[in-house]
Structure 1
Amino acid sequence: MPIAVYALAAGAFGIGVTEFVIMGLLLQVSTDLGVSISAAGLLVSGYALGVFVGAPVLTIATRRLPRKTVLMALMAIFTIGNIACAVAPSYGALMAARVVTALAHGTFFGVGSVVAAGLVAPERRASAIALMFTGLTVATLLGVPFGAWLGFDHGWRATFWAVAAIGVLAFAALALIVPRDAARRDTVPLAEELAVLRRPQVLLGLLMTVLGFGGVFAVFSYIQPILVTITGFSEAAVSPILLVFGVGLILGNLVGGKLADWRLMPALFGTLAALAVVLVAATFVLHDRVAAVVAVGLLGAAAFATVAPLQLRVLEAAGGAGQTLASSLNIAAFNLGNALGAWLGGAVIDHGPGLGAVTWVAAAMPAVALVAALGSRALERRGAGRREVVAVAGD
């Protein structure tokens, strides 16, 4: 695999830490800033909505710039945003800083996915995308538990200072390793790129992404209070348990990439179904410490096994002209799912049936995503059938 893909993974690592680390800091942030756990959980939603807005806006705004320049500028925004998080004097200021940080996220992964896929042979595109996203999974394996420990011992602000330092290092890696490219003077007209939003298969792919990751984040956003309140772990024990989640993410991400390179649609069906099953099963084991830790690892594996199939499905449905925009929109869709999931989990906690029901309520979202995937396949087959009929009639 080209070394430039690993530089992209370094950027993904930094972004992954700042996105996910807040889940391990909810109790500290809520106590320090005097807000409820569900309000602290909305910091997940705020970040995700920032990604949702920033991804299409920045992708369109930077569409004619060299991709390397875009990636470096986004990493600079990311670093400045994390510094703002570290010094935020209030809940509102922290929310605003999280949103600013999030603006870089969607376009970075969207542009980075296109760059990674373009660096390898066509039959290795899903694996290249998965490798870039491995930075995100390593962030969850190492960065998030370390950030949770750092926040527990030295305060949550120290975690954001550490993440800002990661941003500086990732910026350097991008500057030194990613190949320089020219300004994109041959960029297709904007109307042609936006036309991708009229394609039913693209819209179905985006819907699958929203629903799949909505289920993940309905649970993961509240993983700390779930493990402390229901399973009975101490706050200090959450950090090493997140390591288990991270191991699952890495394994699931790599397996999902291999499966998508092999056969995309079966991989999509299988990973979404596995995610729904894991969420349902988790409901029945949360009171047992060993089983709960196993469930956390399986959730990580099932969640990120869906990433490469979902991303590649949208890229293929978009075709050449709209791939960069569609790629960024799918990252936005991941984060819209994150926002909806965090909101749904908070609603279940605040308005019933309560924290213990979050997992089984969350399972409904990937189950609906699976239905959308089946509908997408049926639509695809009908389209192929019509083309065959037209071809026969033409003969």
Structure 2
Amino acid sequence: MKTLRFQSFVLVSLSFILGFSEFIIVGIINDVAQQFSVSVAAVGLLVTLFAAVYAIATPLISLLIGKHRLYWSLVLLVTIFIAGNLLTALAGNYIVLAISRMLTAVVSGAIVSLAITFGSFLAPMEKRAGLIAWIFSGFSIAAVFGVPVGTWISSYTSWRNVFWLISLLGVVTLILAMKCLPAGLRQQQTRNFFSQLAIFGDRRIRLGVLLPMFNLAGIYVFYTYLQPLFAQALNFHSNTIAVLLFGYGFMSLLGNLYSGRMADENGLSKLTVVFLLQTILLVTLPVVLGSRWSAVPVIMFLGLTMYLVNSPTQLFFLEVAEKNFPQSMVLASSFNSIFANLGIAIGSAVGSLLYLHTGLVGIGPGGAFFAALALLVNLTLTRLRQSSAGYKKFSSKNKKV
């Protein structure tokens, strides 16, 4: 029962239900707006709210986990996650809906960091990058299958049924996790609560965390309004939109899986090309919206680039923590989720402002601004890592003399 393959399946399942819960708002945004008689932009701000709470709460909860058993921390957090989705399903008004989304967001990031920490402890070194890539792929699988299925359920029954389904999947996954994950696992003892924050003294970390933030800030400026893009700008039917959302999610899944291979091959340096491509695609988005045949390929290629950053950056954070800050393993495991969601909050907020003032035309260039920032940060980090490696090599040679 306690085989690595089954444990990996459970960890990927955790990320799937987390992604399903987080991303589904994009697929049901019009239905929720109609239900509560609010604007599409108001529902879009739920994405911003979720991501902001996620980014703020995740490091705090990760720090509080400290020396406590990771198993029981995971059980508690997943239970709260299930309760948050049940409250969403039962929400009688927009305020309760917003509160339920915040409750879900509070624990989601810490659950991801715990899943990654379990994965890094359970997998042998040669399989670690692949397992981390698969854990992140749970989010892409949610985009591939969860969002289109959830959109279909919402269209033909009710959006509330989507959250009943997420709650049920959460219960099943929690039971499986309790059966297969080791109960005694802890991270290294810490001298005090704040000693875990020492990792932020490393300049590489301070630069590295900007990559997932700017990456998803750029993507979410347009991704938050992906359904209106397909429906309003390109005039696709609702059934076709479900297929297109599936296609977008499938492309993001391919990108996520390829990010694992990138992580094994000095992936951070290769991200320069990724961010350059993102910038170009987002700048051209308003131009190609006049034609379905040109707009759909551009949108799908953006989906491919969406999660290429995941495994290279996450493996980089874990390597720095293992070598220099072992007391910060859980915190380091959460960096990708924390700063990606901070980027989601920024991107979706900017997207909402652009949507209100410029319509769908302005969201592409708005996203391109953040992609260009990610490009500049990655160039700086690459030079820093190369100079650091050169210095260490030089020092090593001098010691041998």
Q: TM over 0.5, yes or no?
A: yes
> d(CA) in 2 for partners of 1:361 and 1:146?
29
Counterpart AA for 2:168: A
The structural deviation recorded for 1:60 is: 1.4
Separation of aligned partners in 2, 1:262 and 1:389: 23
Count, aligned residues: 394
Among candidates 206, 209, 218, match of residue 221 of structure 2: 218
What is the deviation of 1:106? 0.9
The question of 1:344 aligning with 2:350 is answered yes
> 1: distance between equivalents of 2:126 and 2:276?
25
Task: Label 1:174 to 1:290 Cα distance change in 2 as closer, same or farther (>3 A).
Answer: farther
User: Aligned ranges for residues 53-68 of structure 1 at < 5 Å?
Assistant: 53-68=56-71
Name the CA distance, whole Å, in 2 between partners of 1:184 and 1:314. 15
Residues 264 and 313 in structure 1, CA contact (< 8 A), matched pair in contact too:
no
Paired with 1:183 and 1:127, the residues of 2 have a C-alpha distance of 23
- Structure 2 counterparts to residues 324-339 of structure 1, below 5 A: 324-339=330-345
Q: Alignment partner for residue 143 of structure 2, among 133, 137, 140?
A: 140
The correspondence of residues 227-266 of structure 1 with structure 2, limited to 5 A, is: 227-266=230-269
* Aligned alpha-carbon RMSD (Å): 2.0
1:28 maps to 2:31:
yes
Aligned pairs (5 A) from 1:275-354: 275-319=278-322, 320-352=326-358, 354=359
Equivalent of 1:365 in 367, 370, 390: 370
Give the Cα–Cα distance (whole angstroms) in 2 for the partners of residues 271 and 113 of structure 1: 24
The answer for the alignment partner of 1:160 in structure 2 is 163
The AA in structure 1 aligned to 2:253 is: I
2:201 to 198, 201, 211: 198
Which of 96, 108, 113 is residue 110 of structure 1 equivalent to?
113
TM-score by length of 1: 0.93
Q: Residue by residue, what CA displacement relative to the aligned partner does 1:330-377 show, whole Å, maximum 9, x if unpaired?
A: 31101010111100111111123x312212220221221111011112
Distance 1:190 1:267, change over 3 A: farther
Report the more deviating stretch, 185-194 or 208-217.
185-194
Against the structure 1 CA distance between its residues 392 and 4, is the aligned structure 2 distance closer, same or farther, given a 3 Å change threshold? closer
Name the CA distance, whole Å, in 1 between partners of 2:176 and 2:296: 34
Displacement of 1:266 in angstroms is: 2.5
- Asked whether the equivalents of residues 214 and 338 of structure 1 are also in contact (C-alpha less than 8 Å), the reply is yes
Letter in 1 for 2:69: P
Deviations 1:103-148 (A, max 9, x none): 1211111121122122223233221101111211111111111111
Question: Deviations for 1:252-284, whole angstroms, at most 9, x for unmatched residues?
Answer: 111111111122322332333333333334333
Q: Which residue of 2 aligns with 1:382?
A: 387
Q: Does structure 2 retain, via aligned residues, the 8 Å contact 1:141–1:242?
A: yes
State the distance in 1 between where 2:266 and 2:393 align. 22
Query: Does the aligned pair in 1 maintain the 2:195–2:327 contact within 8 Å?
Result: yes
Structure 2 distance, partners of 1:277, 1:172, is 45
CA distance in 1, matches of 2:136, 2:395: 41
Contact 1:218–1:362 (Cα < 8 Å) also in 2: yes
- Cα deviation, residue 31, structure 1: 1.7
Amino acid at match of 2:179: L
For normalisation by structure 2, the TM-score amounts to 0.92
Supply the distance in 2 between the matched residues of 1:2 and 1:181 (Cα, whole angstroms): 20
| Cα separation, 2, equivalents of 1:118 and 1:182 | 9
2:287 partner SS: coil
CA deviation vs aligned residue, 1:266-307 (integer Å, no higher than 9, x gap): 233233333333333433333323433333332221101221
* Cα distance change, pair 276–123 in 1 and its aligned pair in 2 (3 A): farther
Whole-angstrom distance in 2 between the partners of 1:387 and 1:263: 18
Instruction: Return 5+ residue gaps in structure 2 as ranges.
Output: none
Matched-pair contact (CA < 8 Å) for 1:256–1:271: no
Letter in 2 for 1:381: Q
Say whether the 8 Å CA contact 1:248–1:301 is kept in structure 2: yes
Question: 1:369 and 1:66 mapped to 2: Cα distance?
Answer: 36
Measure, in 2, the Cα distance between the counterparts of 1:142 and 1:55: 26
Moved more, 260-269 or 360-369: 260-269
Q: Distance in 1 between matches of 2:309 and 2:394?
A: 34
Is contact 1:253–1:305 with CA below 8 Å preserved after alignment? yes
* 8 Å CA contact retained: 2:187, 2:330: no
Given candidates 115, 120, 123, the residue that maps to 2:123 is 120
Q: Tell me how far apart the structure 2 counterparts of residues 59 and 197 of structure 1 sit (CA, whole Å).
A: 14
Q: Out of 194-203 and 110-119, give the one that drifted further.
A: 110-119
Q: 2:151 corresponds to which letter in structure 1?
A: A
Distance 2:183 2:388 in 1: 40
- For 2:157, the aligned partner's letter is H
Give per-residue Cα distances to partners, 1:180-224, cap 9 Å, x unaligned: 334557345433311112211111111111100111111111111
* Superposition misfits of 4+ residues, deviation over 6 angstroms: none
The DSSP-based 3-state class of the residue aligned with 1:203 is helix
1:116–1:226 distance in 2 versus 1, CA, 3 Å: same
Structure 1 portions without partners, runs of 5+: none
